[in-house]
Amino acid sequence: MGIRFILLVNKQGQTRLAQYYEYLTLEQRRALEGEIVRKCLARTEQQCSFVEHRNYKVVYRRYASLFFLVGVDNDENELAILEFIHLLVETMDRHFGNVCELDIMFHLEKAHFMLEEMVMNGCIVETSKQNILTPIQLMDKAS
Amino acid sequence: MAMSGMRGLSVFISDIRNCQNKEQERLRVDKELGNIRNRFKNEKVGYIVTSCMLNENHDFLRLIINCVRNDIIGRNETFQCLALTMVGNIGGREFAESLAPDVQKLLISSSCRPLVRKKAALCLLRLYRKNPDVVNVDGWSDRMTQLLDERDLGVLTAVMSLLVALVSKNYDAYWGCLPKCVRILERLSRNQDIPQDYMYYGIPSPWLQVKTMRALQYFPTIEDPNIRRSLFEVLQRILMGTDIVKNVNKNNASHAVLFEALALVMHLDAEKEMMSQCVALLGKFIAVREPNIRYLGLENMTRMLMVIDVQDIIKKHQAQIITSLKDPDISIRRRALDLLYGMCDVTNAKDIVEELLQYLSTADFAMCEELALKAAILAEKFAPDLSWYVDVILQLIDKAGDFVSDDIWYRVVQFVTNNDDLQPYAAVKAREYLDKPALHETMVKVSAYILGEYSHLLARRPGCSPKEIFSVLHEKLPTVSISTIAILLSTYAKILMHTQPPDPELQDHIWAIFNKYESCIDAEIQQRAVEYFTLSKKGVALMDILAEMPKFPERQSALIKKAEDTEIDTAEQSAIKLRAQQQQHTSNALVVTDQRPANRSLPVKVPSINNNAEANTADRGLTEVNGTLSRVDPQSATPSADLLSDLLGPLAIEGPPSAAAPDDQNLISGLEGVSNSSDALALAPLEEQSNSVQPIGNIAERFRALCLKDSGVLYEDPYIQIGVKAEWQAHHGRLVLFLGNKNTSPLVSVQALILPPSHLKMELSLVPETIPPRAQVQCPLEVVNLRPSRDVAVLDFSYKFGTIMVNVKLRLPAVLNKFLQPISVAAEEFFPQWRSLSGPPLKLQEVVRGVKPLSLPEMANLFNSFQLMVTPGLDPNPNNLVASTTFYSESTRAMLCLIRVETDPSDRTQLRMTVASGDPLLTFELKEFIKEQLVSIPTPSPMPALAPPQVQPTIPATGATDPGAILAGLL
């Protein structure tokens, strides 16, 4: 399956963006986010970027106040996911220009559109920033 | 503008929430879809909302299938994309049924832009993965091959994900894709024709590289030497050319590719040169400071253990791995623990387990239970001697009693009970621990149990008189829970029984305790107290009832089962798991029984949370295929519950029921009611147990199967498995019997006697009298065929397990057809031969009736399976079969045999058979042999024809139709 979910959580543990590629009820999502966030936020910079949780792994990366957490299957290539997070951040950066938590809060739908272009059903579809951003730029023009 | 997008979304959500019923919901969704059509942007919002908020089973998804389909087959590219994305994220069965063909069309359409096609690929992937039965992928291998020629890397990335899903289910249909994948890798690694936008820190799409290598891991081998060479060149370049650079991102990306390449090399396995490079690289990685790389190094080393035999090289890094076990990062500690667990074998078990025990005292809570379980399993699997095993478990309980599950101490009790030599040692150890000031309750349980059973073995040691043992145990009683008190009461009863001559003071004391607990609020305790009190008043009669517990039937380690049970499956079968299964199959083709050295007997058991899925299934595959070791008696179906009833059953009593005198009957009646239900095993008299060993599988069927093939299992019961592997050369044969002990205690008094028929000369090499625990003994058996005969050799095999004596008589598959070799005879040779062998006794003819009705091809198959080679077309009549073969024996040497069968198409139950050869005896025996095969009707019931007790009753039964027999019966 590959990627199971992508979470953006700030330092205070508030979820800023959540995209699940397997169905969980809201209750389950809340529980899962709580557990994972607690685990990941407690870790130091010197520790590795992978956390094992239940029967999958969380690959995470911190950018300033924002944590990007990606839940993947156990046999997924962890470093590839780690760099995928960075690609996502760079893509957002290119669009928003120096992206910060507020950009994502107030342009949540755009963050989702980008993710939608990059990941589908847990698989990476597109890694060219240009291709990812074209539809969004088109939309901006249209409105 | 952005706010309006947000508003559309939240309005839609709250509207849906406020809907009172399905109808309203539907209307709202229809309205939204209407909006979507009106406004481009809101359509996107609508689709995203649907994707985010609903799951595939949601009812109203059914309502929008049509709208979605219109979008998909419509011309508007944007709507197509949105619809495909939505279906790709949440599409369920109904979507698969109605949309799959359209999506497939889009994917291969040449007029669609890459944008649409990549979404179609992943949309199809979703539909296929969810409902493989609905999406028709027959004939897709050619299309996939074409799709892999795609230049656009986005489409390629999506198609590659689809390919991984397809090959993981059935790689066989997609061999054509293999060279394409290698070419894609070449293109990427050489940086040919890669648009700048797909370069990530100077590396051509690392994600596509990783995905492509993942797809390749599902193919078992690469046959074509050219493709293989190209791929290995690429891999070599990746392995050699990946350097550590300053830029973190570049470093990560290149190492992502490197680790995938490592996995692929491990999988393709062959070139030893590269394998050693991999091990060297991993050795380097597990020593670096960078935590991510170290983590992955440890993880991949564990994976490597599953795939190939590199244990010796990995052992060199043991010290380094142990350092990682103490890393401040729990993720790394977990990996190190897994690796240590995987690399453990008899040679290093002591070091590793002791290291784990030492670490246990400082380990944090999150890991203790896993650590304790793994240490217990390793100690059990690789114990150089059983006393060490007992030491380890007792230390484990001492250091981390809270994390030691009941299964762990049940298991040690089982071992002690089943091994007489171990009992005094265990009792001494248990006694020593009791002197410690603060004792974990589990330790009280184990010590009480062991001392109850075996303290009399220590009687002469200081501090071990019944009285002293009683008082040291009794000190603990005030602090323990009910379940422990129950065990203590049993122990007191046993101590009392073992005190000979009786010590009145001790007796009074114990009786007082029983008296006190007779009014206990817990029913179990109360019952024990009442019963033990009454029984102990009986004096000598008590002896029989409270005797030592009988040996436990051998069962799969509950621990290993527990480790397996924590597993949860993942959606896709991983390449490693698949690989492990494939290996198991090949090993099975070569050898019938599990011949791995003991240290590899359960090669992929890594019951951590993450590797579990793979390990467990692979292991199950192993037990199914080879049927050894962990396949156990039916009782193990519910091991823990069962175990519990054995250990904690109301009364640990044993002995023939006759021991209970009639006047005792009333006394014990209450207890019998309980025992019968929960503890039948402990009560079973010994005589019954000897009959209770039931063979696993049908012996007659196993024999029949072995007549047709040369290796397989001849016999199996809960304790032993006998496998056979045979080679035949002319009139010589060499069979090897594999006697495998499935238990943790030895099989003794093993005897194997061959009863050869007069036509076979058979020599069995020495069979050892004892088969050590879990060991396998090979006994070669030489066979020489002297002359033709249908008689069958019998193996008279017996052994003792504990008090159980097992004796079986097994037919050996050294049958007539093993000395046949098919030979094809051309018409110009056949007919002169046929004519020259004229009439009896060299040529015999017989009309056979009551034949199993077989079609001609079926019959030809049957003949061929017995090495009688059917030559089609030799007989002008299409209803006839002609076959030829060569028979080898010392008297006849190589002799040609010709067979002709004339069938009657209107009545398949009869035929006329003519057999000819240069030897009258051979002609007769071969004719009879074939006849037996043709009329033999497989008996539905198990038919141990050679087991005397069962044969006897059948004589009067068959005789019932025979007037003579009836008469004899009357007389």
Which pLDDT value is given to residue B625? 35
* Chain-chain contact of A48 with B575 (C-beta, under 8 angstroms): no
Considering only CB atoms, which chain B residues are within 8 Å of A113?
44, 48
Smallest Cα distance from B273 to chain A, Å? 25
DSSP of B225-264: HHHHHHHHHHHHHHHHH----S-HHHHHHHHHHHHHHHHH
Question: SS3 string of B553-578?
Answer: CCCCCHHHHHHHHCCCCCCCCCHHHH
B609 touches A at CB < 8 Å = yes
**Sheet bearing B804-811, strands edge to edge:** B748-755, B794-801, B804-811
The C-alpha R_g of chain A, in whole angstroms, comes to: 15
Residues A18 and A34 sit within 8 Å (Cβ to Cβ): no
Residue-level pLDDT at B754? 86
Q: Give the pLDDT score at B93.
A: 80
How far is CA B28 from each of CA B4, B34, B60, B68, B932, rounded to the nearest angstrom? 19, 10, 11, 16, 76
Q: How many beta carbons lie within 10 A of that of residue B673, not counting itself?
A: 11
The answer to whether the CB atoms of A125 and B157 lie below 8 A apart is yes
pLDDT at A107 over 60: yes
Same topology, domains B588-605+640-814 and B819-935? Answer is no
Q: Tell me, what's the ipTM?
A: 0.95
Q: Does B131 touch chain A (CB under 8 A)?
A: no
Task: List Cβ<8 Å contacts ≥24 apart for A19-22.
Answer: A19/A112, A19/A115, A19/A119, A19/B52, A20/B52, A21/A119, A21/A121, A21/A122, A21/B89, A22/A122
**Neighbour-count burial for B381-392, b at 16+ CB within 10 Å, e otherwise:** bbbeebbbbbbb
Q: Determine the pLDDT at residue B51.
A: 65
Which of chain A's residues have a Cβ under 8 Å away from the Cβ of B294?
Answer: 48
Disruptive mutation site among A35, A86, A121 for chain B (greatest number of B CBs within 10 Å):
A121
Mean pLDDT of A122-128: 90
CB-CB under 8 Å, A82 with B291: no
Give how far the C-alpha of residue B252 lies from the chain's centroid of Cα atoms, to the nearest Å.
37
Q: What is the pLDDT of residue B564?
A: 60
Q: Do B613 and A139 touch (CB under 8 A)?
A: no
Profile chain B (971 residues) by mean pLDDT over runs of 10 residues.
51 75 78 63 64 64 80 82 82 82 86 86 87 80 89 91 89 90 92 90 93 92 88 90 87 93 83 78 89 92 78 86 89 90 88 89 80 88 87 90 85 88 90 88 92 84 85 89 91 84 86 90 90 81 72 70 52 49 40 32 34 38 35 37 40 36 39 37 36 76 84 86 86 87 83 85 84 80 88 88 84 89 83 82 85 83 85 82 89 87 84 88 88 66 40 38 42 39
Residues of B in contact with A140 (CB under 8 A): 1
**Four-way CATH pick for A3-142: 3.90.870.10, 3.30.70.20, 3.30.450.60, 3.40.190.150:** 3.30.450.60
CB contact under 8 A, B328 and A47: yes
Distance from CA of B54 to the nearest CA of A (A): 8
A91, closest residue in chain B (CA to CA)? B197
Are B417 and B409 within 8 A, CB to CB?
A: no
Q: What is the pLDDT of residue B460?
A: 78
**Whether pLDDT at A63 is above 80:** yes
> Are B26 and A126 spatial neighbours (Cβ–Cβ below 8 Å)?
no
Chain B residues 33-72 within an 8 A CB cutoff of chain A = 40-41, 44-45, 48, 51-52, 55-56
Of residues B41, B195, B253, nearest to A142 (C-beta): B41
Residues sharing a CB contact under 8 Å with residue B357, sequence separation 6 or more, in sequence order: B375, B392, B395, B396, B399
Closest residue in B to A46 (Cα–Cα): B291
Name, in order, each residue with C-beta under 8 angstroms of B278's C-beta and a sequence gap of 6 or more: B239, B262, B265, B266, B304
Return contacts of A116-119, CB within 8 angstroms, 24+ apart. Answer: A116/B48, A116/B51, A116/B85, A118/A84, A118/A87, A118/A88, A118/A91, A119/A3, A119/A6, A119/A19, A119/A21
Interface test with A, best of B89, B126, B267, B367 (most A CBs within 10 A): B89
Q: Nearest-CA distance from A40 to chain B in Å? A: 11
Residues B861, B414: Cα–Cα separation, whole Å = 51
> Per the CB < 8 Å rule, is B123 touching A1?
no
Question: What is the model's pLDDT at position B213?
Answer: 95
The answer to whether B122 contacts A52, with C-beta atoms less than 8 Å apart, is: no
Q: Is 2.60.40.1230 the CATH classification of the domain at B588-605+640-814?
A: yes
| pLDDT at res. B644 | 37
3-state secondary structure of A15: strand
Alpha-carbon gap: B307 to the closest alpha carbon of chain A (Å): 15
Query: Which pair of structure tokens corresponds to residue B293?
Result: 């790389």
Chain A interface disruption, residue of B570, B572, B617, most A CBs within 10 A: B570
Distance CA A59, CA A66 (A): 14
Cβ-based contacts of B252 with chain A (< 8 Å): 79, 82-83, 86
pLDDT of residue B178: 92
pLDDT at B293: 92
Interface test with B, best of A48, A70, A85, A106 (most B CBs within 10 A): A48
B754, amino acid identity: I
Kindly provide the b/e burial profile for residues B71-100, where b requires at least 16 CB atoms within 10 angstroms of the residue's own CB: bbeeeeebbbbbbbbbbbbbbbeebbeebb
The full set of domain ranges for chain A reads 3-142
Residue B746 to residue B330: CA distance in whole angstroms: 41
Q: Terminus-to-terminus CA distance in chain A, angstroms? A: 36
Q: Which fold has domain B819-935?
A: TATA-Binding Protein (3.30.310)
Could you give the CA distance from residue B206 to residue B211 in angstroms, rounded to a whole number?
Answer: 9
> What is the pTM for the complete model shown?
0.61
SS3 B855: coil
Is B7 known to sit in a ligand binding site? yes
Q: How far apart are CA B776 and CA B723, in angstroms?
A: 10
CA distance B26 to chain A (A): 21
How much is the pLDDT for B665?
40
Instruction: Residue B89: list chain A partners with CB under 8 A.
Output: 21, 120-121
The answer to whether the CB of B473 falls within 8 A of the CB of B430 is no
* Single-letter amino acid code for the residue at B282: L
Chain A residues in contact with B48 (beta carbon < 8 A): 109, 112-113, 116
**Residue type (1 letter), B411:** R
From residue B260, alpha-carbon distances to B161, B163, B174 in Å are: 15, 17, 21
Residues of chain B positioned with their CB less than 8 A from the CB of A116: 48, 51, 85
Calpha distance B102→B609 (Å, rounded): 40
Residue A44: which residues within 8 A CB-CB, separation 6 or more?
none
The domain spans of chain B are 1-37, 588-605+640-814, 819-935
Please give the pLDDT value at position B561: 67
Which of B6, B122, B200 lies closest to A123 in CB terms?
B122
Please name the residues in contact with B168: beta carbons below 8 A apart, sequence gap of 6 or more. Answer: B218, B572, B573, B575, B578
| DSSP letter (8 states) at residue B744 | S
Residues 6+ apart with CB under 8 A from B257: B203, B206, B209, B210, B213, B238, B242
Using CA coordinates, name the residue in chain B closest to A130.
B197
Q: Are B95 and B129 in contact (CB under 8 A)?
A: no
Q: CA B135 → CA B123, B131, B390, distances in Å? A: 12, 7, 56
